[in-house]
Amino acid sequence: MAYLVVRGGARLSGQVAVDGNKNAALPLLAACVLTPETCELRNVPQIRDVSVMVSLLRSLGATVEGEGTSTLRVTCANIPSGSPDVAMVGRLRGSVLLMGSLLSRVGWAALAAPGGDFPARRSIATHLRALGALGARVTDHAGGHRLETPAGLRAASMYLPEASVTGTETALLAAAAAEGTSEFRNAACEPHVAELCDMLTAMGAVVEGGGTSTLRITGARSLKGVVHSLRGDYIEAASWGVVAAVTGGDIVVRGATATDLEPTVSVLVDMGLDCDLRDDEFVVRPSTLRATKRITTGLWPAFPSDIVSLVTVLATQAEGRTLLHDWMYELRLFALEQLSAMGADLFLCDSHRIIVTGKSPLRGRVLDSRDIRSGMALVAAALVADGESRILEIETVERGYADLVNRLRGLGADAERRE
């Protein structure tokens, strides 16, 4: 295990470019299974989750070129099995996406319970219900599920019981090869879902409604290889914006689309952030931060849960009291209790709500990464704290943030990765 040593107090400045959207990379890699032809993905983030997904594809028989670079060429000419490597499945929540691809390609899939952040809190009931509607028969198998399509996949019209991102993507991946037109209502609307719709259309399926809650997809008998360049990761861009704000820094973040950043930046502006938001450029300047009464996460295009941990750290450096309410996940806020030991004035109302009173001077200490986003929030807290902090299991944060230490150092942070 590795840890990150941060000596806080530096005002960060400079420029940083974000990679392709992590949450788009995984479903797009899963989509490569749908065709025997080569798919080329560009602007792929070089992060641990992508590396695990590549290993999963190889365990199924895929050939992947370019690993370790931002361009991957994936060829799934021969996929003899619908059972990906069990150990790899246990390391990655996104492995669940392979259920839809494998049903489309080989007619069956056997998946152990997926891992990743909050594995016990994230249900795949929506995924299984959608696949069942499309003709899959689901049985329990080796701690997970086995799915088969005795009569092949068929088009379906259904209301998804939850606007799950990976549930919607799983349904799309299966429907891409089903005969006829499927319609999914209460679908997830996130930009990375719309990006998957674009790629599936380029491959030969016809998808309408990307970015809305109603998706219609007409499957194709055979799908073709494509070249696709990923959009910039707006969660990563917002993270660097918060890092700039808490350190009183001056940072230009490039690579993310302005419309993707708007739901987050509008809240940051309410908290006094001095910034400019243009297409492909998010400029953050030293700011006098102030509390905002309440921040509540929601389904897209509301304020995203993925950034609530970082905004909690921002609230510790803002004058006044802020209530943060993340109704989607419980463990993120529990992970942030570590801020109290750093000197933050926090009151944990329950597993979903936390009250932050600022401005509080923070002091360095040993911290423990619990998930990607709260881990990055603790990195931000360490950057503004007085003295030295150690963030343990930094590999967790590196699952979502490529080349983290070098990027921090390039902005002027006193940071060092140690084994």
- List b or e across 169-205, with b for residues whose CB sees 16 or more CB atoms inside 10 angstroms: bbbbbbbbbbeeebbbebbbbbbbbbbbbbbbbbbbb
Q: Cα 120 vs. chain centroid, distance in angstroms?
A: 18
Q: What amino acid is encoded at 257 in this protein? A: T
Q: Respond yes or no: is residue 140 known to be catalytic.
A: no
DSSP classification of residue 417 = E
Q: What amino acid is encoded at 322 in this protein? A: T
DSSP conformation letters of 275-331: EEEETTEEEEE----B--SEEE--STTS--GGGHHHHHHHHHTSBEEEEEE--S-SH
Q: How many CB atoms lie within 10 A of CB 86?
A: 16
Distance CA 245, CA 240 (A): 9
- Which residues are registered as beta bridge partners of 144? 141
For 335-376, strand residue ranges (E) read: 345-348, 353-358, 366-368
Residue 195 tokens, joined: 């990006």
Distance CA 103, CA 87 (A): 21
For 168-297, strand residue ranges (E) read: 181-185, 206-208, 214-218, 227-229, 250-254, 274-278, 281-285, 294-296
Residue 237 tokens, joined: 């861009």
- List b or e across 276-305, with b for residues whose CB sees 16 or more CB atoms inside 10 angstroms: ebeeeebbbbebebbbbeebebebbeebbb
Which of 19, 49, 117, 260 is flagged as catalytic?
117
3-state secondary structure of 166: helix
> Where in the sequence numbering do the catalytic residues fall?
117
